[in-house]
Amino acid sequence: MMSSRIDQLLNEMTLEEKVSLLSGEDFWSVPAIPRLGIGKLRVTDGPNGARGGGSLIGGVKSASFPVGIALGATWNIELVTEIGAALADEVKSKGAHMLLAPTVNIHRSVTNGRNFECYSEDPVLTAELAVGYIKGLQGQGIGATIKHFAGNESEIERTTISSEIGERALREIYLVPFEHAVKKAGTWGVMSSYNRLNGTYTSEHNWLLSTVLRDEWGYDGIVMSDWFGSHSTAPTVNAGLDLEMPGPARDRGQKLVDAVNAGEVSQETLDKRVLAMLRLMERVGSLDDHRTHEERADDRPEHRALIRRAGAEAAVLLKNNGVLPLTGSGKIAVIGPNAKVAQIMGGGSAQLNAHYRISPWQGLETALGSGRLDFAAGCTNHRFEPVLQGPFSVEYFANQTLSGEPVHIDTMEGAQAFWIGNVAAGKVDPLHFSARLRGQFVPETSGEHRVGIYSAGFAKVFVDGKLIADAWSSWTKGRTFFEEGCDEVVGTLPLEAGRPHEVVIEFATKDFATLGLAAFACGIGRPLGDEAIAEAVEVARNAETATIFIGRNGEWDTEGSDLPGIVLPGRQNELVEAVAAANPRTVVVLQTGGPVEMPWADRVAAILEAWYPGQEAGNAIADVLTGAAEPGGRLPQTFPVRWADNPAHSQDREVYPGLEGKVRYEEGIFVGYRHYDRVGMTPLYPFGFGLGYTSFALSDLVVDDSAFESDGNVVVSLAVANTGDRPGSTVVQLYVSDEKSSEPRPAKELKAFEKVHLQPGETRSVTLLLDARAFAWYREAAQHWLVEAGSFTISLGQSASDLPLSASLTRATTLMLPV
């Protein structure tokens, strides 16, 4: 519906004013139109926080919430809704009106670098959580921007590759979260993906943006491009892309004015795009927002508590031989590269400058006291050398040759930068400048050190006047900085403990491929050898319980780069084997953005997957380990025994990672647990699995199928009882099987679920509703959903491999459903 005010504004706007609303003014805003009293629309990156208008590094501090896969592991729609509302507070604190979130692409493979940011391998779990997130956010007047629409399931050649996906797989798997976001949550924003879909860029894909999204689903919000993700003028506007981001305009502006005047874009089409923007601005209140832009760091106690609670509810207990929760008063060995480093988030556009970071060591120290804890690092797990900390002086030059006098002098806290928008107080062109940094490094130990540099631009590192690492002379595109940067270049040299060594970094911008940015990171590290593992073994041997904090970090789990595999980086597997041999009470705490291979799983006493749970990471983990909180998580993604077991792994490179500009979704609808069922393979840990500190029983299944024949609806109820002696939670999961279909279908598909919290001895009735779509598959030839005549089985339990309750249903007729 169009308000009379919007109608009036549209009628009063000139062609140039209309066009101005269809492109960004700068990196984060859409321009105001003062003549008509139209305020500026501002957006900010998410989804695990609200960064504001600053760089990926530094900037105004923000609350860091659990990442997407952690929220997926909660299976708790109410909790995710609560987080959405809290994120609305964060967006407001940054003076913005819209959050670029949630991310709902499907976990097609186990190596997608951005899986951490997405919820699940399952479309229904993803969709229901996305609906909660959007309702929480928009209920507070902040617009959601669900992304990336569609087919962005890997980070390899992500800005150009064509995802080749059949329509049935699109309809049944990859489009489901977006469909629910439109039909159930009424999302105000959709972001198109970078990639092509079946040969056409999604930003100019008429079938996707107009036929499906608007005509079939009835969407009335806006579609914006991913940053630098639009590639044309008339084709994007005509296909349904409302907003080109970021600004200033590249393919719009005067080009769009000319296209309208030439008849390449009709006035009617232009007005549709402008009306969508005005409707959004009215919804989020930016039409009348004429305040001076201000960003605040609101460190709210209620957000701290919510993040801590959500982190514990996301933690998945995969194994427990009675060692958890921690009891007694003996020594606890705290071991591993993630023990004293708070791994709170993944990498890429989801990064932000958190208010604080609590490490597992700090969490356990607060809970148990430092006197009970002994530490050993054991090994490292970084992808890049640890960033060199400052301070650094920085000289900026208004050229790319470091020549002449600097036009601006500043300081930096560390040897890393992500320059976008305003650089050097606006005294240089952000895409054409150079900079020289000077600082010092004081080694803690003497010996051979590694100096690493990677950059989106040209860079060199000098130590004590000698060139050590050169990413300038033979710069080659790699997998850093959203595929705009090179891979790390590393040099070595001996350094002396306690002696200040001068470090000089030279940087110059270069032409970019897709994303206009300049960035670098420089680090210095000392490799850990056999002695570090030996020290960890000794610490573990002298402790009552050994806890090992291992996994990955945001250098590995990051936008712009897929993982090379799912083996733990470095010597972490070796460390676990050695510690477990020394202490049978070994607890492994994983922090990853997805599955890892665990060759030691049968030799440790307990395994906890804690993901990246936000700024309260260490406190949330300590709460679970000590029993102050229940490990409430259940796996949102199947953990395979090995990388080669996952659905997208193939000897055919076009299936994954892609070949000659195409990645073919050969597995179709058989993603995640559907694949393992199809091939008869037992995973390491199944979808939906997770243990707790209490036990549950499911019983008294009742299925009301009285309306199944007429309209396809079914009502399922059952009793859930906490049979243990602690409060706890479980997830009731309902799967549907079509016993005989005319086309291949998965052995079972998740269609409903509910998170249930119960006190000891408490029993509760749970009711789950199924509509006709829960029994349907998409028939490409006829362009409709089809529920076939025949028998269906409903199975219920607590994971995809634990389904003790079942019932059969039968239909005598077929039922056709519209798209």
807, exposed or middle or buried, with CB in 10 Å at 0-12, 13-18, 19+? middle
Task: Please provide residue 347's backbone torsions phi and psi, each rounded to the nearest 5 degrees.
Answer: -100, 170
Tokens of 8: 């009036």
Instruction: Decide the pairing of beta strands 489-495 and 447-456.
Output: antiparallel
Q: How many CB atoms lie within 10 A of CB 334?
A: 27
Task: Give which of 421, 427, 418, 420 is closest to 395, Cα–Cα.
Answer: 427
Task: Give which of 320, 815, 247 is closest to 604, Cα–Cα.
Answer: 320
- What is the C-alpha separation between 302 and 310, in angstroms, rounded? 12
Helix (H, G, I), strand (E, B), or coil: what is residue 132? helix
- What is the C-alpha separation between 49 and 181, in angstroms, rounded? 20
- Which residues are tagged catalytic? 226
Q: Would you say the C-alpha torsion 125, 131, 132, 137 has a positive or negative sign?
A: positive
Helix, strand, coil % in the chain, rounded to nearest 5: 25, 30, 45
DSSP structural state of residue 473: T
DSSP structural state of residue 659: B
User: DSSP labels for 70-113?
Assistant: HHHHHT-HHHHHHHHHHHHHHHHHTT-SEEE--B-----SS--T
Compute CA 495 distance to the chain's CA centroid, rounded to the nearest angstrom.
Answer: 39
- What is the C-alpha separation between 99 and 51, in angstroms, rounded? 10
Q: Which secondary-structure segment (H or E) carries 532?
A: helix 530-541
204 neighbors 235 (Cβ within 8 angstroms) = yes
Task: Please provide residue 417's backbone torsions phi and psi, each rounded to the nearest 5 degrees.
Answer: -155, 150
Max Cα-Cα span within the chain: 84
Instruction: Decide the pairing of beta strands 143-149 and 98-100.
Output: parallel
Q: What is the CA radius of gyration of the chain?
A: 27
For 11, how many CA atoms within 13 A lie in the half-sphere containing its CB? 7
Q: How many CB atoms lie within 10 A of CB 364?
A: 25
Q: How many CB atoms lie within 10 A of CB 522?
A: 30
Tokens of 811: 């239909």
Residue 394 gets the label, from left (phi > 0), alpha (psi -120 to 50) or beta, of: beta
Task: Please provide residue 769's backbone torsions phi and psi, each rounded to the nearest 5 degrees.
Answer: -105, 135
Give the sheet arrangement for strand 696-704, strand by strand. 696-704, 714-722, 763-770
203 neighbors 186 (Cβ within 8 angstroms) = no
β partners of residue 501: 441
Q: Where are the alpha helices (DSSP H) in 448-521?
A: none
Q: How far is CA 128 from CA 47, 168, 177, 555, in A?
A: 16, 20, 8, 29
Q: Tokens 């077929």 sit at which residue?
A: 814
User: Rounded to 5 degrees, what angle do the CA atoms 451, 454, 455 make?
Assistant: 140
- What is the C-alpha separation between 117 and 593, in angstroms, rounded? 8
What residue type is assigned to position 230 of the chain?
S
Tokens of 170: 């699109």
Beta strands in 115-158 (DSSP E): 143-149
Q: Tokens 């480093």 sit at which residue?
A: 341
Task: Give which of 62, 470, 82, 462 is closest to 306, Cα–Cα.
Answer: 82
